[in-house]
Structure 1
């Protein structure tokens, strides 16, 4: 019997320990957090001037707040002592202006302000460690927000009084039911209102190609004539594709079909332990490149509008750059939705990306061969703790409200896994080392450059994106020598993209930058372009039409003679994988 080498035994022990730890830390590395904390603690303890300043600041603010609180008990129209930061809507309701809730809210905001002052601006602390400590302090303070407790939240108190305590009883029942579903790993009945093939992902079409990694869906045309160049959409493999084919009224796929486009969609396989060694090159070659090959056989002698969403957009950009390097001219245009190409300012997600954290995550993935949905959910929940955690606790458990389910929420709960090798390569090569923007990213052992791309680009970013901040997405303008139409739309990473015409309260800004334009800073761009009401889907459709040629007869569904028969009806099989 072959014995495992001693170094491998030691590595295996470490990986098992880290994998077990990771189940209880939401995938966060204790070493990474400790390093950040010790960096801050050592430097602040060796900065007596800063410490004295912190004490003085706290005493001065507390004294002023005490006087304000005394007045606030009498004059409820008094101006707030501290105003909430933009985007913080916890205390926006007028009920928080009433005594004693106004004092509670302002006291909490004062603590938040002081701890931000205490955790930032310490000489010598690494910027990454400063961001981690400041973020951790905010998360810890959120535990004590008066919005999160029944006796300090006026909405909870009023509803409990008005319902004779029934709201609290209903909230307890909601909590017990959720605990039961979690412990028994049962699906939540409320999530069953929306289902794939029933009222989600229902646009008619056929799977015309399948390999181990993708199913390629070709959708049935809805017009007599179509633009000659088909559209290929590449979603992120961290999500199910049908975010772009939700309900009938907000399906981007159906919208494009009705506007006269031929639409193809990649549906990614949900990887398991057998797929642990799939890497970025597999997702490129067996994903996008195989899909392009199939479309070339089904719609011959036509170029293709390539569209990529989130990680799928980054991969589409890599594909376009590699094709440009190799003089492959099969693309007509490139469209990117919330896709980053320069990761130097990738937002708060970078809090979870350093050498210690990535090594820890690799050990966690090694156990199963993939990163599962629960491990991914921990980081995203922390980034949007109010929206994804605390607001739900207050709504369902304190106010006793029934959870509100919609198609986007159902899709959000239907997440996928990521293979060990691919996820490790993606985080190290792009997030940690920024190889793509730096011209070091290798495709088939040769570097690619985004400056080689010459097809026109349509790039969409969203104002409230926590995953791909719009200023990070905007950096694409500096990396390309082609015409870039940049759109900044209202909403977040997902809701800003699912922004169909007729959706209320939607607006966007649009600007075109040619290859000859000089660099325009992001904030200057924001000031130069006026806000337009409505959906950005409409100018994008016009842009696709402008960069297409003549109208043509719709192509046949698949091409059996070329080896691409219509296999199964849409939405295919991979979308149902759990």
Structure 2
């Protein structure tokens, strides 16, 4: 019989008893923290609507299987056969043999990386049982007949959340690494974890907000959002930052960055080594960046048109006042890119064509293949979101953060639950995850318009979106477009960006970077982690485009700058923020970015 490689040290009974008492005491405090928000009116604020949708969706799948007894029996027999094989394999292992495993984790699944998951027959059995059962359940959803694509997509997404939560790697008694750790610490890890759990529930005002990094290690303007500049314009929706030059001359045409309002802009300015903004400035661009306000109830009626008029259009006006230039190049990231595309369509329709080129970073304009976020965008769920927003005028930023984390639950939720609350270890300081937790709210009118017109009805791609009584048609957009996708993007899938390229009327340079939604974009030339693929126009199937594309080593940033510079290579003396037509209102990164949700 195979045994554990090392014998765990016997626990200190006295210390274990003391920590057990402390754990019970801390559990009581945690429960009190959870109940505190309910003391006013006693109305729970938990996600009951979401749970109801999970039950209804998975219930629909179950009904389809139960409606056909023969298929149900076949499915049960398949599961039983797999377990009989596993029991036989485990029996042979107990006799000292080495049979092939029945189920193995995916190569990138780090939950079962500890050696004891393989060397110890008991934990190996638990691991394989979990894998067999979860894959069997996934097969039921995939094979259910008579359900529409959206219901199947939701069922797959919800099942992934449930399967992730029930993994034996999440619990002390079923995880050999956690069991060893707890015995070695005599349970002190659980006491620390319970204390952090209470703190995170308090930070979430009654709902668990799992910490992913040490927030005390970062401060906006000190070690994130550090590129020097000045705020040169401010209105109710945004501050406009003009960055200080690093070269004697700059491209004559100024450059405007439109970040998403669902996150803060400094993902593009995390630190000096990883800052896309800082790198742009170093290449000789006069860079302006919008910093959106963190909205509250006063901004409830600010809609998509408001963000276009008071955001992008107001920024271009301000850039003209600061530099004397009437034309700009612009880049939009994620939903900021969607807003930029909408603005391009509006300018094409009205003749006010001040944006001469557009760079779209992991941006969707066609939401047909919008990925797992479409799970949250059917009529029933949008009505529920609208009802919640109507009460306070905005959507709480924590809800969007949770939705993004649920796209990769094992990596972004359960790994931190185990590390924080079971191992009792504070997470490492990581600037990207600090930014990820720095949540922003969404105004009710804007978010409702976005969900309905983009995710639900796909009106922009269909040429049916109307803003200010103007019907928008992307085919009228003729300016050059650099359209960047990333291969592993869960938010703006590469296929979605690829097919969106065909919606524009002008030349689109589709480029595919490695990694995902953030790491694929923030990939500096000085220390590149991923390459990129170039292959001309986005035509035909994405698979064929990739097969014929040229793989390039290093960062896509220099390739992009070459594309941009060729359009308008003329240079002028560097512009100093605050010395032109607009005075400085204060140093970058400004005041709006410091507002907490």
TM-score by length of 2: 0.86
Paired residues of 1:348 and 1:383 also in contact (CA < 8 A): yes
Which region of structure 1 is more displaced relative to structure 2, 66-75 or 179-188?
179-188
Gaps of 5+ in 2: 1-40
Q: Does 1:288 align with 2:306?
A: no
- 2:323 corresponds to: 299
What aligned pairs does 1:546-565 form with structure 2 within 5 A after superposition?
546-558=566-578, 561=581, 564-565=582-583
Secondary structure in structure 2 of the residue aligned to 1:57 = helix
- 2:224 corresponds to: 200
Q: Judging changes above 3 Å, is the alpha-carbon distance between structure 1 residues 313 and 68 closer, same or farther for their aligned structure 2 residues?
A: same
What aligned pairs does 1:350-389 form with structure 2 within 5 A after superposition?
350-389=374-413
- 1:9 corresponds to: none
Q: Does 1:572 align with 2:590?
A: yes
Q: Partners in 2 of 1:82 and 1:21 — Cα distance?
A: 45
- 1:13 corresponds to: none
**1:27-86: CA deviation from partner (whole Å, max 9, x where unpaired):** 6272x4344234323322222232122122222222222223333445686443224346
Paired residues of 1:128 and 1:351 also in contact (CA < 8 A): yes
Q: Judging changes above 3 Å, is the alpha-carbon distance between structure 1 residues 568 and 58 closer, same or farther for their aligned structure 2 residues?
A: same
Which region of structure 1 is more displaced relative to structure 2, 306-315 or 530-539?
530-539
**1:165-207: CA deviation from partner (whole Å, max 9, x where unpaired):** 26x4135314313413532669989312110111111211111
> By how many angstroms is 1:310 displaced?
0.7
- 1:311 corresponds to: 335
Aligned length: 550
What aligned pairs does 1:163-562 form with structure 2 within 5 A after superposition?
164-165=184-185, 168-180=187-199, 182-183=201-202, 190-301=214-325, 303-503=327-527, 505-513=529-537, 519-558=539-578, 561=581
TM-score by length of 1: 0.89
Paired residues of 1:488 and 1:508 also in contact (CA < 8 A): yes
Q: What value does the CA root-mean-square deviation take over the aligned residues?
A: 2.5
Paired residues of 1:29 and 1:356 also in contact (CA < 8 A): no
User: In structure 2, which of residues 162, 171, 178 is the aligned counterpart of residue 156 of structure 1?
Assistant: 178
Q: Judging changes above 3 Å, is the alpha-carbon distance between structure 1 residues 144 and 557 closer, same or farther for their aligned structure 2 residues?
A: closer
**1:363-385: CA deviation from partner (whole Å, max 9, x where unpaired):** 11111110012222332232221
> By how many angstroms is 1:144 displaced?
2.5
Paired residues of 1:483 and 1:512 also in contact (CA < 8 A): no
Q: Does 1:122 align with 2:141?
A: no
What aligned pairs does 1:130-145 form with structure 2 within 5 A after superposition?
130-145=152-167
Secondary structure in structure 1 of the residue aligned to 2:91 = helix
Q: Judging changes above 3 Å, is the alpha-carbon distance between structure 1 residues 352 and 22 closer, same or farther for their aligned structure 2 residues?
A: farther
> By how many angstroms is 1:570 displaced?
1.1
> By how many angstroms is 1:338 displaced?
1.2
Q: Partners in 2 of 1:510 and 1:438 — Cα distance?
A: 27
> By how many angstroms is 1:245 displaced?
1.2
Q: Partners in 2 of 1:308 and 1:347 — Cα distance?
A: 20
Q: Partners in 2 of 1:21 and 1:482 — Cα distance?
A: 54
Q: Does 1:58 align with 2:79?
A: yes
Q: Partners in 1 of 2:401 and 2:48 — Cα distance?
A: 8
Paired residues of 1:26 and 1:375 also in contact (CA < 8 A): no
Q: Judging changes above 3 Å, is the alpha-carbon distance between structure 1 residues 196 and 44 closer, same or farther for their aligned structure 2 residues?
A: same
Q: Judging changes above 3 Å, is the alpha-carbon distance between structure 1 residues 86 and 280 closer, same or farther for their aligned structure 2 residues?
A: farther
Secondary structure in structure 2 of the residue aligned to 1:412 = helix
Secondary structure in structure 2 of the residue aligned to 1:120 = helix
Q: Judging changes above 3 Å, is the alpha-carbon distance between structure 1 residues 317 and 185 closer, same or farther for their aligned structure 2 residues?
A: closer
Q: Partners in 2 of 1:21 and 1:83 — Cα distance?
A: 45
